[in-house]
Amino acid sequence: MDYQKNTEQKASLEDEFLYAMKVNGYFLFENVINAELLQELKSGIDKAFMDDENSLKTGKFKSDANISDVSRLLLGRNKSFEKLIDTSEIQKYIDLILSETCVINNYSAVKLMPNKKNVVANIHKDSPRYSNEFKLAIQVLYFIDDFTEETGGTWVLPGSHNANKQPSEEVFFNNGKQIVGKAGTAMVFDSSLWHAAGFNVSENPRRGIAIVYTRSFIKQQIDLVRALPEELISNFSEKLKRLIGYNVRVPSSLEEFYLPANERLYKGGQG
C-alpha cells in the first residue's frame, strides 16, 4: 500500500506540474537545495562575479555588457554548480516536457544588488522563439537567497507564455504576480513566459541561478563542450555530460563523420 500511495502521489505531482505549466507557465518546488549546498552556491556566485570584474579590469573581457548583473558559464567555476545539476530532482520535470535528450542552453547567476536596477528587471522572455504546443525551452530559477518583495522577487505574468507579443508595463504589473519563496526553492517556467526581476530594497544581495534547457537541436548560448576543459568533462557524470551537449557534438572532419557508430560524436536518438 505504501508503494501504491507513493506512486499515486508522484503521478499527482507530475500531473499538477504539467497542468500548471500549460495554464500558468510556471510551477514552484520548495526545499530542493539543502543548507550546505546553498552556502557553497552563494560563495561560488560571489567569486564568479568577482572573477568577471577582474577579467574586465585586466582586459580579458572586451565588453562590460551586463557583467555586473549576470555571471555566465558557471560550470567549471565551482564544484557546487555541477553538484546542483547532479543532485537536483528538478531535471525529471524538465524532461517531462523537453524529453530526456534536452541540453543546457545557458547556466548563469543573477545577483540583485541593493537599490540598483538589474538588466533582468526589464520585462522579457528568455526564448525568442514562439512555439505553442511543441515546447523548445524550459528553465529553472533556483532561489539561492530568500525571494521576498523587499529583495526583489521575480514578477511573472501568468499565462503570457501563450502570447507572443510583449505586454505593456501597465498590463504586466496590473495582472502579474510577484513570486516569493525561501532560499532552496526552484521555479520552473516556460521560457516564453514574460517576466522581470523585482527591485531589491533590502540591505543584502539577492542571488539566483537561472538554467535554460532547450531541445538538443537548438544551439547553446555558449558551446559548453568546447568551453570546458576535457579533464573536467571526463569526471562528469553521464547525466551531466548529456546535459552539456556531449552527445550531440557535430563532426568537424570526414574522419570524425565516418567513425564507427559507437565512437561517433553525435549519438543516435537525441531528438
Q: Is the pLDDT of residue 29 over 80?
A: yes
Residues 113 and 200: their CA atoms lie apart, in Å, by: 7
Amino acid 64: pLDDT? 79
User: How deeply is 174 buried, as exposed, middle or buried, from its count of CB atoms within 10 A (0-12, 13-18, 19+)?
Assistant: exposed
Mean pLDDT of 69-84: 96
Residues 271 and 98: their CA atoms lie apart, in Å, by: 9
pTM given for the model: 0.92
Identify whether the C-beta of residue 237 lies closer than 8 Å to the C-beta of residue 87: no
Amino acid 143: pLDDT? 98
* Residue type at position 75: L
Amino acid 2: pLDDT? 43
Residue environment code for 41-52, b if the CB has 16+ CB neighbours within 10 A, otherwise e: bbebbbebbeeb
pLDDT digits (tens, 9 = 90+) for 168-215: 999 999 999 999 999 999 999 999 999 999 999 999 999 999 999 999
Q: Is the pLDDT of residue 111 over 60?
A: yes
Amino acid 4: pLDDT? 42
Best CA proximity match to 188, nearest among 14, 26, 16, 31: 26
Q: What percent of the chain has pLDDT over 70?
A: 96
3-state secondary structure 188-256: EEECCCCEECCCCCCCCCEEEEEEEEECCCCCCCCCHHHHCCHHHHCCCCHHHHHHCCCCECCCCCHHH
pLDDT digits (tens, 9 = 90+) for 130-164: 777 889 999 999 999 999 999 999 999 999 999 88
* Dihedrals phi, psi of 136, to nearest 5 degrees: -105, -30
Identify whether the C-beta of residue 206 lies closer than 8 Å to the C-beta of residue 111: yes
Amino acid 130: pLDDT? 76
Amino acid 129: pLDDT? 78
Q: What is the mean pLDDT of the chain?
A: 92
The single residue listed with the C-alpha cell 560524436 is 265
Q: Is the pLDDT of residue 53 over 60?
A: yes
Q: How confident is the model at residue 62 (pLDDT cuts 50, 70, 90)?
A: confident
Mean pLDDT of 70-74: 96
Residues 207 and 68: their CA atoms lie apart, in Å, by: 12
Amino acid 3: pLDDT? 36
Q: Quick one: cell of 259?
A: 567513425
Q: List, in order of start, the domains of the chain with CATH numbers.
A: 2-263 (2.60.120.620)
Residues 116 and 197: their CA atoms lie apart, in Å, by: 12
Amino acid 266: pLDDT? 87
Q: Is the pLDDT of residue 7 over 60?
A: no
* Terminal CA-CA length for the chain: 37
Amino acid 1: pLDDT? 37
Mean pLDDT of 64-76: 90
Amino acid 9: pLDDT? 60
